[in-house]
Structure 1
Amino acid sequence: MAAQHGTIGAVERSLDVVDHLQEVGWTDLAEITAEFDCAKSTIHRHLETLERAEYVVREGNEYALSLKFLEHGELARVREPAYELAATKVEEVAAETNERAQFIVEEHGRGVYVHRATGEKAVDVNTHLGKRVPIHASAAGHAILSELPEEQVDAIVERHGLEPLTDRTITDRTALYEELDRVRERGYSINDQGFVDGLRAVGVPISDGDGGVLGGLSVAGPINRFRNERFERELPSLLLGVANELELRIAYN
């Protein structure tokens, strides 16, 4: 990334290297240098600095991210006690539905997976903890957006756009706002293959107890199991009940 006004270019370059290592895994200096428009010696200094600070590990001529990021991520996740309360409900939903359940929060306009659990029949679509996803494309994301002030939703759309993940992803701003109105009216969101082809989901917003939104809880599964009465009534009813219980625990915790 190019340094922005008020930022430090060297720090941004180091973070670019970190992001690249996250994307590709083990790789060598030549490959990393080819990715960026700067000298090999410059990239080498960034890698040496990151290795010295224990953010990068090295084996022979190859580098990868270290487990120090795991420590940072876990501390970030537990900083909010209510996140841990949500974890219990995610496990319950996954067990009761036999599907994949998750709790995501909004951070910097993205959806971040804070908790996830899989039931016996769950379909795994590579949604690991900490993964950041376009918030406009998922059921939990729509649930969160429906509770945010309009100006905040506007800012998120301006910053990140409405990237299509499938041919069913909402990519029109007016269509998104109309969908958020429907979510507010129903109290829950539905996603019909807007995140992953062949996958449907139902989501609910979770209040933080102070009038804001803590995050979104959703359950997802293949369209052959998410249809008719189950998709239209049973799962929404289940999640609305879970949301009510969780919000009471958060309010009186």
Structure 2
Amino acid sequence: MGGFLWCQGEMKRGKAKVKWSVVCLPKDEGGLGGKSLKKWNVALSGGSRIICHWGKEIRQLFVHVIGNGQSTSAWHDTFSDFGLLSNVISAREIHRAEYKDGATVADLMSRFPDVTQCDKIMWKARDGNLVDFSTKAAWESVRNHGDKVEWHNLICFSSCIPRHAFIAWLLMLEKLKTQDKMFPWDVGDGQNGPMLCSLCKTQQDSHNHLFLNVFFQGKFGKDVVV
């Protein structure tokens, strides 16, 4: 999809108009509503507890509410505000204290909040609250987030023309290839002469010049029928 949007079949760095992390934002946060497959796989892997591949990135978001402490790893599970103890205690220090790497919380403590209740695994949501695990909660925690935008309904609606919506989206992000952006690339100062706006012929075009400039509106706005 990245090659289709930006590179026209040739995957090459430096040709993208917008960062892929922005493309994958929801539409109301200024993106196109796609999903990062890497982060989506992280969210899905949490539901099946297949977390060894993703390591601490996903494991630290599972919080164990201690019951009898028998099913919670003392070093590699989060059960307190300190997070994963393996982040602050090295394997050598654990060995020197004569504990095993596979020790549970029950192996370290003699008193528990409730010795008759099993440990419960909760998910740490983005706002810090503990909730039951769901793919939706996991996705909201691991995906990129952006600021809410007010213009998304003006671009994406049921009868919009995709090509027009895409160009308008680039415009709102100020990512069109206007002359002020291309000038640092040393384009147009050679045999083709200086780069000037094709409408007014007085200065380089830019997003503000093309769509907001008072001179442009005064000279050409009367020819536009809304």
Q: Give me the TM-score of the superposition, normalised by structure 1.
A: 0.19
- Larger helix percent: 1
Of structures 1 and 2, the one scoring higher in RCO (CA 8 A, sep 6+) is 2
- Larger strand percent: 1
Q: Report the structure number with the largest CA radius of gyration.
A: 2
Q: Give me the TM-score of the superposition, normalised by structure 2.
A: 0.21
